[in-house]
Amino acid sequence: MSVVNIFYGSFCDAEQVALAVAGRLGYRLASDEDLIALAAGLGKQGAGALRRVMYGKANIFNSFSHEKERGLSLLKLAMSRMLAEDNLVFMGFGCHLTPKEVSHALRVCLAADTKFRVAKAVRELGLNEREAGARVHRDDEAAFRWLEYLQNRQPWDAALYDMLIPMDKNSVDQAVELICRHAASPPLQPTAASRQAAADFALAAQVEMALAEEGHSTRDLAVTVKGGRARVEVNKKVLMLGRLSDEVKRLVEGVDGVTAVEVEAGPGYHQADVYRRADFQLPSKVLLVDDEREFVQTLGERLLLREIGSAVVFDGEQALKVVAEDEPEVIVLDLKMPGIDGLEVLRRIKRDYPKVEVIILTGHGSERDRDNCLQIGAFAYLEKPVDIEQLSQTMQQAYDKIRSGQ
């Protein structure tokens, strides 16, 4: 039997349509939340992190941590498990993970113009028109980010779907009738080729997971599988392609079901960016906070030479915003800054995010400051000028403490 994938704009009666289609066809109904829960059980990223992968912006540390790519590999693996069930109606962003070669999956989009959706938001949520417009715009932004990341396409592009149903011109009953009629049609029934495509998708997801767990970015290593034969394209410049190829082949050959591996330069290989593999033994989500811009930017460059990834902000307010949105693991924090000073930043971080480790690095401190910082919960208190080896070792110790769960 077929699979029905329903993508939708907010306030397009998608839940009513999906429930009715599932009931009429006798299929199981699943959503993004079901996909996220399944993915969280398959890997090391929790449901919150996977929601950010699907709906949010890329983390500012992502070029070092590869969190979005690892999360996407987990979501693909979970979707491949769902596709194996058949008799499935899936609604949400996750439907765009199903490759087009799986021809027994019906791709449906429920859409409507903005004016119609804003009016529904006003009626259903009791919002005023301005608030409703902001809500619809926010929902659409998430959809645009997701499709741009996955396919470099717009979410309402008709080429992505078998059916695009305008819900400002169709009732729920009419939409259900259209979907069910197409789901039962001969072209939507599974064939040997579409079954093989689903199996290839599942194996490709396992290959991506194997690479991601070893620190490779699956944006830089594009994986395709056909009949058990894996092909990996390297889409960033790497100094020693042969060495990378040997490592990738070793990892991919270890995936059960892979019969052959081919690694070659892809279309993005000659771009300016350099290939970077994440080392999960080193800190990769470090936030440097200091109002001395030249000093802190130079510090970030020196840490990068030691394979420690960092992001830089120049005041306490920015630091607190990054902590809330991007979840750094280790923070190197100056005390004397304009606005919210370092001591107050430390106090708020340890109150609201106790697992984040904070290293104080200051040129204007005192013994009293040192005692206060350590009492509040700072991991260490260092003074400028600091030896880069001492700082990097202290950061490593803080990171090791986080990983050990102490």
Express each pLDDT in 163-176 by its tens digit: 999 999 999 999 99
d(C-alpha 86, C-alpha 319), whole Å = 47
What is the residue extent of each domain of the chain? 3-188, 193-265, 286-404
| pLDDT over 70 (residue 266) | yes
Task: State the Cα torsion 287-288-289-290 to the nearest 10°.
Answer: -170
- Whether the CB-CB separation of 198 and 225 falls below 8 Å is answered with no
Predicted local distance difference test score (pLDDT) of residue 64: 83
What dotted CATH number matches 286-404? 3.40.50.2300
Query: What pTM value is reported for the model?
Result: 0.84
| pLDDT over 90 (residue 307) | no
| pLDDT over 60 (residue 99) | yes
The average confidence (pLDDT) of the chain is: 93
Of 166-175, 189-198, 265-274, where does the model show the most confidence? Answer: 166-175
Q: What percent of the chain has pLDDT over 90?
A: 80
- Whether the CB-CB separation of 11 and 120 falls below 8 Å is answered with yes
Q: What is the mean pLDDT of residues 360-365?
A: 89
In the 8-state DSSP scheme, what is residue 274? Answer: B
Predicted local distance difference test score (pLDDT) of residue 236: 83
Evaluate whether 193-265 and 286-404 have a shared fold: no
- Chain center to CA of 240: 28
Q: What is the mean pLDDT of residues 140-167?
A: 95
| pLDDT over 70 (residue 1) | no
Predicted local distance difference test score (pLDDT) of residue 268: 76
| pLDDT over 90 (residue 405) | no
- Whether the CB-CB separation of 377 and 354 falls below 8 Å is answered with yes
Grade residue 218 by pLDDT with cuts at 50, 70 and 90.
Answer: confident
Of the given ranges (265-279, 305-319, 360-374), which has the lowest mean pLDDT?
A: 265-279
Grade residue 278 by pLDDT with cuts at 50, 70 and 90.
Answer: confident
d(C-alpha 162, C-alpha 146), whole Å = 19
Grade residue 281 by pLDDT with cuts at 50, 70 and 90.
Answer: confident
Asked: is 193-265 a CATH 3.30.300.130 domain? The reply is yes
d(C-alpha 242, C-alpha 264), whole Å = 9
Predicted local distance difference test score (pLDDT) of residue 272: 55
pLDDT digit string (tens) for 85-96? 879 999 999 999
CATH architecture of the region 3-188: 3-Layer(aba) Sandwich (3.40)
CA distances to 110, 151, 161, 164, 381 from 156, rounded to whole Å, are 9, 13, 9, 8, 52
| pLDDT over 70 (residue 280) | yes
The residues, any chain, with a CB within 8 Å of residue 340's CB and separated by 6 or more, are 315, 316, 317, 320
Cα-flanking dihedrals φ and ψ of residue 22, to 5°?
-60, -40
The residues, any chain, with a CB within 8 Å of residue 166's CB and separated by 6 or more, are 111, 112
| pLDDT over 90 (residue 364) | no
pLDDT digit string (tens) for 40-84? 999 889 999 999 999 998 888 888 888 899 999 999 999 999 998
Predicted local distance difference test score (pLDDT) of residue 328: 93
d(C-alpha 31, C-alpha 47), whole Å = 14
> Residue length, the chain?
406
Q: What is the mean pLDDT of residues 117-133?
A: 96
d(C-alpha 402, C-alpha 198), whole Å = 39
| pLDDT over 80 (residue 273) | no
Give CA angle at 237 (232, 243), nearest 5°: 60
Predicted local distance difference test score (pLDDT) of residue 351: 96
Upstream peptide bond of 385 is cis (omega within 30 degrees of 0): yes
Packed helices 47-55 and 32-42: angle between N→C axes, nearest 10 degrees: 130
| pLDDT over 90 (residue 208) | yes
Sheet with 221-226, edge to edge strand ranges: 221-226, 229-234, 260-265
Strand partners, 166: 111
